[in-house]
């Protein structure tokens, strides 16, 4: 087996601003190393980096940046210094800025909180949103590609509208923003996963399995035939164990329903496959990363019950009929994921930044980033601003943040909403009750990755007849072709010779010695942060060379751009059967964690213990509803 050289993979091609992004990381890291206590060098680093960005025109429009995005260099180092290293910061510079509301985090929940604050306290309320990234939206990151001439949109993070789960609150919110999910459904030809147009496929790579082999119309969730199983390049014993598992008569049918339920909820799915399905280790390995995208977890963190709920095989061993999920996953979606929803929210809160934006044109509308923090506007949004302290005062709340210029500034408000992730909040509010801080730290975020690759065309994929592929041996567990969305005014010709985005989706496998779920998540996060953009680029090129090379794809010529959306703190933590007890009402960690603290309240998907857009909106509504109704004169008046 001979691995392709970097030259053959095209690693020397200038397809991204990789050198700039990595240079910025070095500059920012050096500034923090020398200035964590006084921040004297951050301004110099920021000025240098800013000048570089100005040269590429990227400072005015972050969605066009490629390279390492998501939690990008410069967005998290100060927070890490605070939370990980216990850094002590100098006294902030007092300012005369005063607001009715300061929101920490300009993601979906933070923006929704601003919306609900205006509804409760009046449209003229003075609101400031502080965001540590260089773009708004949080995990709903917008990715634009222009390397092919026309604009190609893709997914940067949160991307589904699970409309069937919307509360009345969320339905009303969507209506107020002009979102019609049923109309969106009619404007979509795209479906992924089990609903993909060409069905699912699985690619076995040479590094892991000794051969590059693509098996089409293949899914571990379907009832595999012996002929299907014979195509899997694992040991003879492994294939035979799969044939027995998929094809045998029930072997646990004498178990009562109660016995089956107790077993399935107390054993991981891989252990169930080993002990009761009779699978060999190389057969079990095929399932390990199946939920890297949707749950963000290794299968060993998921109970057998949870896996079977998701459509994985096992119920047939108890005598149940084989059945596949007929519901599918009929989401509504924009061509940039829920970044378009975020843009609708920004346009409504700050109409001067994007005049005449509607749900019918939001995906192609222009946003003026220079207008986001306009002085005297009722709502302002300040990017590259990392909050390091939130304190209740007699008048309301004081908030300290590190500005993009490298200064520590202190501002005031009647109220504050924390729409950042839970585990950082105890470091922002050290005077919170210990029980609340412990509850906040309980919810460890789930890492996730969405790597977008702009292909010159889809000819090789069309030739192979695939558009959704599992890669059980690789870094990214799944990839899918992303086209066929005509929502928000965006239209792309459905032609094989047009540039298109291929999305690599997943998480990072935790260390083998990480036993409990929190150790697994922290281990995955550590590994993810240690990977450079070059590591991701080499992985993408290696996969596409092996997968598409036989169909004529040239990785050195046919990859136009790569954007890595890295989210070390990704999905909200959801309670799992193997790791969490059945909490009594009001006693679950997320319920204790989200309690109002003086004039501070908490809004995010963590506060609902559920990683969905509609949950983030519901929690914003709750957070604003729980704010104390101060009768004193507005600080901002």
pLDDT digits (tens, 9 = 90+) for 453-472: 999 999 999 999 999 999 99
pLDDT at 326: 52
CA–CA separation, 419 and 61 (whole Å)? 23
| Helix, strand, or coil (residue 454) | strand
Would you call 389 helix, strand, or coil by DSSP? strand
Residue pair 571/565 in contact by the 8 Å Cβ criterion? no
In 38-139, alpha helices (H)? 42-56, 77-83, 108-121
Can you give the pLDDT at residue 410?
A: 96
What's the confidence (pLDDT) of residue 27?
32
- Cβ–Cβ < 8 Å for 100, 424: no
pLDDT per position as a tens digit, 36-62: 334 333 332 233 223 333 333 334 799
- The confidence score (pLDDT) of residue 248 equals 80
402 beta partners: 386, 408
Whether the CA torsion 223, 226, 228, 234 is positive or negative: it is positive
**Residue owning tokens 């990683």:** 611
DSSP annotation of 465 reads: T
CA separation for the pair 433, 154 (Å, rounded) = 42
Identify the pLDDT of residue 249.
Answer: 75
What is the rounded distance in angstroms from the CA atom of residue 194 to the CA atom of residue 221? 9
The rounded distance, in Å, linking the Cα atoms of 396 and 381 is 20
Question: Which pLDDT belongs to residue 37?
Answer: 35
Q: How many CA atoms lie within 13 A of 271 on its CB side?
A: 13
Q: What is the pLDDT of residue 2?
A: 61
Name the packing angle between helices 533-548 and 18-35 (round to 10°): 150
Contact 464, 439 (CB under 8 A): no
pLDDT score of 327: 56
Residue 520 · residue 301 · CB < 8 Å: yes
Using 70 as the pLDDT threshold, list the residues of the chain that sit under it. 1-2, 7, 12, 14-59, 324-327, 630-637
The answer to whether 157 and 450 have CB atoms below 8 angstroms apart is: yes
Amino acid 636: pLDDT: 53
For the record, the structure tokens of 457 come out as: 């065309």
In sequence order, the 6+-apart residues with CB closer than 8 A to the CB of 380 are: 127, 128, 129, 350, 372, 373, 374
Classify the C-alpha dihedral 393-396-402-406 as positive or negative: negative
The domains of the chain, with CATH numbers, are 17-60 (no CATH), 80-136+372-442+576-625 (3.50.50.60), 223-318 (no CATH)
């Amino acid at each position: 087996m001979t691995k392709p050289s970097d030259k053959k993979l095209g690693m020397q091609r200038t397809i991204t601003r990789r050198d700039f992004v990595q240079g910025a990381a070095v500059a920012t890291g050096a500034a923090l190393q020398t200035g964590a206590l006084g921040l004297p060098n951050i301004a110099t680093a920021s000025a240098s980096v800013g000048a570089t960005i100005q040269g590429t025109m990227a400072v005015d429009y972050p969605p066009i940046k490629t390279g390492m995005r998501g939690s990008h260099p410069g967005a998290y180092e100060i927070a890490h210094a605070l939370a990980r290293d216990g850094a002590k910061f100098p006294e902030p510079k007092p300012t005369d800025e005063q607001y009715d509301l300061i929101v920490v985090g300009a993601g979906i929940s933070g923006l929704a909180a601003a919306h609900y604050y205006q509804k409760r306290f009046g449209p003229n309320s003075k609101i400031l949103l502080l965001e540590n990234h260089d773009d708004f939206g949080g995990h709903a990151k917008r990715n634009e590609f222009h390397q092919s001439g026309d604009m190609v949109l893709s997914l940067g993070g949160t991307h589904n509208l699970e409309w069937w789960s919307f509360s009345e609150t969320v339905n009303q919110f969507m209506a107020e923003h002009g979102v019609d999910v049923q109309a969106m459904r009619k404007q979509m030809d795209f479906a992924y996963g089990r609903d993909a147009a060409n069905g699912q496929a699985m690619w076995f790579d040479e590094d892991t399995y000794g051969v590059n082999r693509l098996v089409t119309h293949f899914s571990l969730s379907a009832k595999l035939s012996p002929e299907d199983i014979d195509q899997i390049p694992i040991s003879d014993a492994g294939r035979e164990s799969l044939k027995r598992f998929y094809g045998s008569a029930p072997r646990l049918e004498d178990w009562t329903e109660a016995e089956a339920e107790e077993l399935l909820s107390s054993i991981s799915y891989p252990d169930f496959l080993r002990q009761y399905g009779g699978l060999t280790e190389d057969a079990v390995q095929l399932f390990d990363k199946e939920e890297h995208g949707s749950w963000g977890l290794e299968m060993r963190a998921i109970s057998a019950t949870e896996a079977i709920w998701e459509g994985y095989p096992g119920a047939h061993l108890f005598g149940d009929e084989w059945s596949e999920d007929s519901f599918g996953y009929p989401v509504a979606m924009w061509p940039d994921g829920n970044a378009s929803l975020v843009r609708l929210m920004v346009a409504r809160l700050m109409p001067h930044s994007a005049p005449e934006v509607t749900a019918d044109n939001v995906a192609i509308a222009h946003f003026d980033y220079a207008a986001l923090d306009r002085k005297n506007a009722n709502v302002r949004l300040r990017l590259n601003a990392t909050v390091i302290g939130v304190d209740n005062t007699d008048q309301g709340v004081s908030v300290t943040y590190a500005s993009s210029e490298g200064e520590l500034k202190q501002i005031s408000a009647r109220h504050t909403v924390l729409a950042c992730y839970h585990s950082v909040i105890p470091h922002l509010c050290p005077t919170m009750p210990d029980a609340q801080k412990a509850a906040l730290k309980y919810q460890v975020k789930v890492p996730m990755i969405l790597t977008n690759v702009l292909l010159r065309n889809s000819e090789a994929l069309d030739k192979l007849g695939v558009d959704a592929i599992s890669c059980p041996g690789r870094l990214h567990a799944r990839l899918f072709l992303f086209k066929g969305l005509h929502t928000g005014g965006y239209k792309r010709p459905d032609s094989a010779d047009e540039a298109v985005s291929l999305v690599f989706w997943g998480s990072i496998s935790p260390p083998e010695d990480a036993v409990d779920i929190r150790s697994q998540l922290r281990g995955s996060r550590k590994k993810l942060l240690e990977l450079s953009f070059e590591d991701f680029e080499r992985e993408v090129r290696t996969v596409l060379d092996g997968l598409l090379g036989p169909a004529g794809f040239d990785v050195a010529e046919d990859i136009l751009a790569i954007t890595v959306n890295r989210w070390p703190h990704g999905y909200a933590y959801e309670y799992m059967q193997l790791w969490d007890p059945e909490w009594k009402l009001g006693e679950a960690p997320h319920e204790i964690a989200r309690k109002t603290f003086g004039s501070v309240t908490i809004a995010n998907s963590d506060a609902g213990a559920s990683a969905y857009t509609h949950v983030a909106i519901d929690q914003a509504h709750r957070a604003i509803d729980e704010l104390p109704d101060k009768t004193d004169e507005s600080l901002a008046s």
